[in-house]
Structure 1
């Protein structure tokens, strides 16, 4: 869209003369139709939210009725495909929207007072990166948000960087077209932002960032010294030696230690709305007849359809029936939108199960590297669509019930395995170590190398910290004496 500005709005006064200027400005906008907004909204709804949405629609729209035809409570792939054929043909390409288009209140298709986030289902995303970006979008510039998103994509679920800082700075500067200093400034803003410690390189940096936001007291100064210089003494719980090293009294040291232990081990905050006491799976996976079979959980939400007798009566009704016809159109949009959501969820779940069959059989150590882009390419949709349909959706498997996002895993740099798999290997080795002779980080790295997984000692230490496991010296226990 080319917008021609009012020439009288830009006047330049120079020497008593008035010079009119004409400027052209290019801007891109996306017109969000009601159908498009509804499709996006339905895509993001969790199972309980969808159930509430459909129950409310049944109450307020007489053109809808509950479909009680499926007694089994599950819908396989063929049923979803048949239900979604018409919806797929008539639906807009909502999966090709850029991610911020429906979350920004300045989108071209909305009024100045129309908040795009109000059209999304209430509740917080289960992905902490999404929640933080939504919070930052209120005050941060769009260009800075792009760099912030890049950093958050390189953080694990606890908010720690998944690779060494120097490597990420070089990679980010190249990927985002800026210098390392600008990338580091954005990371430091995240580190000291509303979630202090986010994008921290290690637990010490995370705790220091949290500590810096507390009131300036003598206890805080001592706590900062403990974090920077005496973590080993803190881990050993030797408060007397810690007080001596700090040159402080026992009471002051105890207060500083209490301040440190009150800090969160990671930066990620839980959603404001507490999760339900139970989880309703959206997808059910079973191993039957020698293969993994995927089905939608029909019991997670009521099935709806257009009321045939109401539609027939409306077609024969005389006079102006614009209100009822509007309700019929709304009902059709909703039925099609739900069919599209179910079709997308089914196809995404099938790809995830197919790619992670070894994980379902063998467990966490067999989880394969898998990205949003790979799944999006497999189902012919945009990455943002896959992100929305897997957020807050749960899959029930013989290995347990968990969020679909757990089936994604970042590839370990320079290897054919995922970081999650290697973390599980590290945990297994530590769980099986002799209590009197715990394994050092470099020993674990050597054992993994003999299994074909080459990682650095610092990577083992990072995974150990993420598992809340102390170093070898903190895990050592005296050997039991043989019974007399």
Structure 2
């Protein structure tokens, strides 16, 4: 029979990515905090790994130490590389060869204790309650109300439902609430924004009938319907401007002063410093990469005396894992440094002149310049930061697309728009079209609709709203 040609479709399975390659990819996108936690777990699990350099007088691990480490590793379960959460937290120990930067040290260990010792809103109010009344029944009702306040200091539970739940008369609940509303901070215990502002104005002796009417029409303030406000309040433009200025000086959420702000420490993975010749040096931050070594002498000693097959298998697995981890960490550091160096090269003008000189730069442009895939650049940029003389910025901050009508970075254009609006005078408020014309004169081609989009992203009101605000002098 003669030979025949035909097409056949066959399905099959093949291993294109090894488990270790998958783990290496995950390691690349971890922040330094997650990486430190992962390496610490590996140091506990793998007896062949050691942190930093072993002291000369350090005792040599024995076979018993190895067997104890084996039992501990088996109890810990399978090895897991964590995914990259969005937070940036503490600084971690560091990698080879670089010198530490004094300006990027860890948080002091007592910072959390200082925050924990801060007085809470409920404690602050209960301290005032001790001085305000000796009536035990009233004190109990007030304590229940205090613990029903949210973090902003508002009473969110309906007072009628509160009275029914405690089985007390509504008059008692009202009296307790009035007592709490007389405490500091002014405005605490309010049931809505209007009541909160009213309490503060009453304390300042500024709650006249016109102001009371204004508080009942806060929806007109939100819409900036100044003509409607003048009509319902029965005041002229000058009086309305003074009233609105008074409102803006009040605190809409008085309880937040007792809520400690979350500390978000952005520790740079890469440090950029200017040199005397005008160039820039790029180096890894020695505080963000772990320093681990493979103890081959310990492996050789244990390999001589281990007898059981399962112990030999564990020893071999430890050697393979330790070798992979040290190589992966070294490759991770080199990749981060390579990407950071290219970012600095493309954004050199930013490091010299600031945001106004920001250039368009995308994942693709960086990937093509250094011969890597875009997905690799994306993983490197995730959860990493670059420390510069202009502050510490997330690595993704330096990736900015060009405007649709030119070769200018969107970040630089937004910065220029903000500058133009901040420099405008009350008599010459710039419309979006006028801003577009001014940018065109500077060589930046941007459409009016793009100006509007950038202005809204910057939370800058329209020219009509800005003009009304200038007229009210607020």
Give the TM-score normalised by the residue count of structure 2: 0.54
**Alpha-carbon spacing, 1:241–1:275, altered in 2? closer, same or farther (3 Å):** closer
Q: Which residue of 1 aligns with 2:189?
A: none
Displacement after TM superposition at 1:410 (Å): 0.5
What SS does the corresponding residue of 1:324 show, helix, strand or coil? helix
The yes-or-no answer on 1:313 pairing with 2:301 is yes
Indicate how the Cα distance of structure 1 residues 275 and 309 shifts in structure 2: closer, same or farther if over 3 A, else same. Answer: farther
1:22-33 matches, within 5 Å, as 24=9, 31-33=16-18
Tell me how far apart the structure 2 counterparts of residues 346 and 467 of structure 1 sit (CA, whole Å).
32
In the alignment, which residue of structure 2 is the partner of 1:418? 409
Is the contact between residue 38 and residue 337 of structure 1 (CA under 8 Å) also seen in structure 2?
no
For 2:394, the equivalent position in structure 1 comes to 403
1:393 aligns with 2:384: yes
User: Quick one: structure 1 residues 237 and 30, their matched pair in 2 at CA, closer, same or farther if it must change by over 3 Å?
Assistant: farther
Q: Does structure 2 conserve the Cα–Cα contact (< 8 Å) formed by 1:369 and 1:417? A: yes
Matching residue of 2:457: 466
**Cα distance per residue 1:426-469 (max 9 Å; x no partner):** 01111111144321111111111110111111111111000000
1:303 to 2:291 alignment: yes
Contact 2:31/2:84 (<8 A) preserved: no
2:403 and 2:409 in contact (8 A); partners too: yes
Do the aligned partners of residues 307 and 421 (structure 1) sit closer, same or farther apart at CA in structure 2, a change above 3 Å counting?
Answer: same
**Match for 1:39 among 24, 32, 45?**
24
CA contact (8 A) 1:234 1:242 kept: no
Distance 2:386 2:418 in 1: 24
Partner SS state of residue 298, structure 1: coil
Pick one of 462, 472, 475 that aligns with 2:466.
Answer: 475
**Distance apart, 1:317 and its partner CA:** 3.6
| CA RMSD after TM alignment | 3.3
- Cα displacement (A) at 1:28: 7.8
Any conservation in 2 of the 1:348–1:379 contact (CA below 8 Å)?
Answer: yes
Residues 373 and 27 of structure 1, relative CA distance in 2, 3 Å threshold? farther
- 3-state secondary structure, aligned to 2:443: coil
Alignment of 1:240-259 (within 5 A): 240=228
CA contact (8 A) 2:24 2:328 kept: yes
Which of 411, 428, 432 is the matching residue for 1:441?
A: 432
Task: Give the structure 2 partner of residue 326 of structure 1.
Answer: 317
| Residue 30 to residue 408, structure 1, CA distance change in 2 (3 Å) | farther
* CA drift at 1:340: 1.2
Secondary structure at 1:299's aligned position in 2? coil
CA distance in 2, matches of 1:40, 1:474: 50
Report the alpha carbon displacement of residue 237 of structure 1 after superposing the two structures with TM: 4.1
Change (3 A) 1:428 1:29: farther
SS at match of 2:287: helix
Number of residue pairs aligned between Structure 1 and Structure 2: 279
Distance of aligned partners of 1:360 and 1:412 in 2 relative to their CA distance in 1, 3 Å threshold: same
Confirm or deny that 1:335 pairs with 2:335. Answer: no
Q: State the match for 2:266 in structure 1.
A: 279
Return 5+ residue gaps in structure 1 as ranges. 1-22, 70-117, 128-230, 245-273
Partner of 2:209: none
State yes or no: 1:289 paired with 2:276. yes
TM-score (norm 1): 0.53
Does the CA contact (< 8 Å) of 1:54 and 1:301 recur in 2?
no
Judge conservation of contact 1:372–1:387 (CA < 8 Å) in 2.
yes
CA distance in 2, matches of 1:239, 1:333: 71
Unaligned ranges ≥5, structure 2: 1-7, 55-78, 89-218, 233-260
Per-residue deviation at 1:414? Answer: 3.4
Distance 1:480 1:241, change over 3 A: closer
1:124 aligns with 2:94: no
Q: Which moved more, 1:436-445 or 1:381-390?
A: 436-445
Indicate conservation of the 8 Å contact 2:360/2:409, yes or no.
Answer: yes
CA deviations 1:298-356 (Å, max 9, x no partner) are 21232111013213324534534221121111111111111111111010000000100
Query: Alpha-carbon deviations, 1:76-105, whole Å to 9, x = none?
Result: xxxxxxxxxxxxxxxxxxxxxxxxxxxxxx
Matches within 5 A, 1:251-270: none
CA contact (8 A) 2:274 2:281 kept: yes
1:285 alignment partner, SS class: strand
> Shift of residue 242 of structure 1?
13
**Alignment map for 1:9-24 (pairs within 5 Å):** 24=9
**CA deviation digits over 1:13-41, x for unaligned, max 9?**
xxxxxxxxxx9565787543121121011
Q: Which residue of 1 aligns with 2:47?
A: 62
The question of whether the paired residues in 1 share the 8 Å contact of 2:50 and 2:294 is answered with yes
For residues 125-164 of structure 1, the C-alpha deviation after alignment (integer angstroms, 9 at most, x for no partner) is: 579xxxxxxxxxxxxxxxxxxxxxxxxxxxxxxxxxxxxx
Shift in CA distance, 27/373, structure 1 to aligned 2, threshold 3 Å: farther
Equivalent position of 1:10 in the other structure: none
